[in-house]
Structure 1
Amino acid sequence: MKHLLVSFLKERYSWFIRQLSKKNQHCDVLKQVCYLMSFPNNNHGLIEALKNEYDVVVLYTKSCEEEARYLQNIGVSIYCLDTMSGLVRGVRQLSQSKVVIADNYFACLGDISFKETQTVYQLWHATGAIKQFGLEDKTAMKRSKKDKERFRRVYDAFDYVFVASERMGDVFKRSYGFSDEQILLTGFARTDYLVNQMEQTQQTDKRHILYLPTYRENSSLENWLLDIEYLSGQLSQQDLLQVKLHPHVTMTQKFAAKNVEWIVSTQSADDYIKQADVLITDYSSVAFDFTLANPEKQLIMYWPDEMIYNKTTGIQQAIKQDFPQPVAYTTLEILNQLNDTQKIDNQKFNQLWNTYNDGKATSRVVREIKEVMDGEK
């Protein structure tokens, strides 16, 4: 019953967006960029770089409130898509912007009648992909015919996608049904920040072990969460275990120890990634950021629930063979990898997934948009 109600509400939402789009069909296309933002800290200078060239409008969700307010203070127009007035005004901006950039799946894009003179880009919120999404998402495959048609309309709204590697380009071909011509090998703009900050990372006498697990819906913590208490007891005095859970994950009681630090879930992981000596994660794309920022530091993939996760969500085919070292399934295997003294080398992994993340991705993205704005493409 609940699913039917949600499906009905989404259909009404689609109808409402189509009506707004029709009202804005008469709008002239303006030489401006409309950026749809749903992920905090995914920008890192791109919007500012675009603002130096063109008028920029940001349509944001409430999770990006702080970042949106910062952009407003430097002269960017902002509208919150989670309010009725913001949505109405946002659809108008989408209908009249020559360039539209989205950092995620935005349902409204599938019901807007874009003009031939407009170009819509996907700027995904992750450098690479471990879990499946889009057309390959196992949960989406179980949805109704109307739901799937709605998903497809959104995928079809995009003209191009910015990616950092051929590997990620292949993922979008499978996940969104994109063609070779729609894949832009520019690099992922946000990673310029990580690349250019590498030399500034401060070294300490502690080995920082960062644990960043992803979120599971309808799954007990006992099925996938690392045994933090046991692991901390096996670490040396020179180790600091830093734990940052997903904002949607709640623990009734957090284990307290001198060598364990609990990071506030809403805090950006970027600064912790740069100073970490080891990253333990599971299906998070943070793995790609870590190896880029730390080409000689240890990445440990911990998949105790691989079979369940692959069945419910889906894991990219053959991704395991790309990782610098084997996937760990137990805490003991994690300890063995932590105690391994072999030299770490993430070069092969970075060549596959961070191919074009060289610190100059933002300039290539801006150049692509400039060509569209100036009518050269």
Structure 2
Amino acid sequence: MARELIISIYLFAFRNVFCFFKLWPQQRKTTFIVSFGQNVLFTVNELEKRTDEQIVILKTANCSMPFREKKSRKVLCFKAYAILDWFRSVYHLATSRYVFADNYFGVLSVSSFKKNVRCVQLWHAAGAIKKFGLKDRAIQARSLKAYRRFQKVYKRFDHVVVGSEKMADIFKESFGITEKEIVRTGIPRTDLFFYHAIVDYCRKGFIRDIPAIINKKVVFYAPTYRDDMSALLHLDVDQLYKQFSNDYILFIKLHPSLREGFINKYPDFMFDVAKYNTNELLLVTDVLITDYSSIPFEFSLLERPMIFYAFDLEEYEQQRGFWEDYETLVPGPIAKNTNEIIQLIRKNSFNLNEVRRFAEEWNTYSQGHSSKNIIDFLYF
């Protein structure tokens, strides 16, 4: 109840400020609301390369992508406590001709854009295992007022970018949209996997920071985010070190709340790579261990092994819900404990043909030119 009251007050204030700034003339300007950033980064780079569009990037509280300001690019802190930047952010949203969002943003429910404005959903993932949007079980448990707000946000999208027919169908269900909103350009962040020069450049950068990757393979443990941070606690690093420290190193991304006071017993084996871009980490990863994350959809383009460490499969499925049967969907073996992970790696129990099929199914339109395709579609 208190949460809904706070949201209502905030949106009331936002709506009034937005309507005031809407009286200002529209400009040749594109504004991005960002919580993840990787799709936005590739889209912005292509937009800057091919147009003279003024670009504004509104970084929300969850955005860790280090966007730099340029002559044609403003970067603002879109948080309520950053008052001056917040007012500037609302002004830019109200006076832009294009607005991109890479996630759900409640302010869109009260952003009555001018008629010629095009609002684009540049979703942060190429695929989905767990349900989201209107099909998210957590949302279905919210109040009717909240549910209607979610619907208003999703109805605000003129275009929703997809990389496959599978994802197009999921968005139609999740957002309650129709075929006319679907844009089949591919997912911008996947362009990285097709640029061989960038792949080599990224690898050299990691070698400078972590020389161990020259002679050892990289296992990257990248579970989906959990409120209780329990995923890392279920991985027996002691066992992994004993079995694989001669041939492998382990990459993990420690959440800030875990990093403080965390003692790494194996600094020559386990590395906290939280400061690095996830896509760049995937380029140097030999074996990915994940669970319900969307990372496999992009990683599959590299045609490398994956292990799905679903130690809480039944519980998680009951809480969130999956789009398909988990065991049928994932392109790799499922492990329920660390010992099973060890056996899978030791026996090389991977079917890369299954990974290739998965990549083709979920990245149909992501062929290395997705950023270009989006700019062509919208601006030319």
TM-score (norm 1): 0.88
The alignment status of 1:360 with 2:369, answered yes or no, reads: yes
Structure 1 regions of 5+ residues with no counterpart? 372-377
Residues 206 and 240 in structure 1, CA contact (< 8 A), matched pair in contact too: yes
Alignment of 1:302-313 (within 5 A): 302-313=309-320
Q: How far apart in 1 are the matches of 2:279 and 2:138?
A: 29
| 1:17 aligned residue (14, 18, 25) | 14
Please state how far the C-alpha of 1:221 moved relative to its aligned partner. Answer: 5.1
Q: How far apart in 2 are the matches of 1:338 and 1:23?
A: 60
Which residue in the other structure is 1:261 paired with?
270
Q: How far apart in 2 are the matches of 1:174 and 1:125?
A: 17
- 1:122-172: CA deviations, max 9, x gaps? 001112112221111121111112211221111111111111111111111
Alignment of 1:14-53 (within 5 A): 14-51=11-48, 52-53=50-51
The alignment status of 1:284 with 2:306, answered yes or no, reads: no
Which residue in the other structure is 2:216 paired with?
206
Give 3-state SS (helix, strand or coil) of 2:30's partner. Answer: strand
Residues 192 and 199 in structure 2, CA contact (< 8 A), matched pair in contact too: no
- 1:225-275: CA deviations, max 9, x gaps? 322222222226112222223445558544522662221424322332111
- Give the aligned length: 363
Give 3-state SS (helix, strand or coil) of 1:190's partner. Answer: helix
TM-score (norm 2): 0.87
Q: Which runs of 4+ in 1 moved over 6 A?
A: none
* Identical-residue share of aligned pairs (%): 30
Structure 2 regions of 5+ residues with no counterpart? 205-212
The alignment status of 1:315 with 2:322, answered yes or no, reads: yes
Please state how far the C-alpha of 1:319 moved relative to its aligned partner. Answer: 4.6
Which residue in the other structure is 1:241 paired with?
250
- 1:188-218: CA deviations, max 9, x gaps? 1111122213763578431211111222124
Please state how far the C-alpha of 1:329 moved relative to its aligned partner. Answer: 1.7
Residues 39 and 122 in structure 2, CA contact (< 8 A), matched pair in contact too: no
Which residue in the other structure is 1:375 paired with?
none
Q: How far apart in 1 are the matches of 2:259 and 2:320?
A: 21
Which residue in the other structure is 1:344 paired with?
352
Give 3-state SS (helix, strand or coil) of 1:339's partner. Answer: helix
Please state how far the C-alpha of 1:98 moved relative to its aligned partner. Answer: 1.3
Alignment of 1:1-377 (within 5 A): 4-51=1-48, 52-53=50-51, 54-64=53-63, 67-68=66-67, 70=68, 72-82=69-79, 83-197=82-196, 200=200, 204-218=214-228, 220=230, 225-235=234-244, 237-249=246-258, 253-257=262-266, 260-292=269-301, 294-295=302-303, 297-341=304-348, 344-345=352-353, 346-371=355-380
Give 3-state SS (helix, strand or coil) of 1:131's partner. Answer: coil
Residues 29 and 118 in structure 1, CA contact (< 8 A), matched pair in contact too: no
Higher helix proportion = 2
Please state how far the C-alpha of 1:113 moved relative to its aligned partner. Answer: 0.8
Partner amino acid, structure 2, of 1:279: L
Residues 242 and 262 in structure 1, CA contact (< 8 A), matched pair in contact too: yes
Q: How far apart in 1 are the matches of 2:96 and 2:256?
A: 33
User: Greater CA deviation, 250-259 or 167-176?
Assistant: 250-259
C-alpha change, 1:343 and 1:153, in structure 2 (3 Å) is closer
Residues 207 and 240 in structure 1, CA contact (< 8 A), matched pair in contact too: yes
